[in-house]
Chains A and B, each alone.
Chain A
Amino acid sequence: GAGVSQSPSNKVTEKGKDVELRCDPISGHTALYWYRQSLGQGLEFLIYFQGNSAPDKSGLPSDRFSAERTGGSVSTLTIQRTQQEDSAVYLCAAGSGGAYEQYFGPGTRLTVT
Chain B
Amino acid sequence: EPEVTQTPSHQVTQMGQEVILRCVPISNHLYFYWYRQILGQKVEFLVSFYNNEISEKSEIFDDQFSVERPDGSNFTLKIRSTKLEDSAMYFCASSEVRGRAKNIQYFGAGTRLSVL
Q: Bound pair: A and B?
A: no
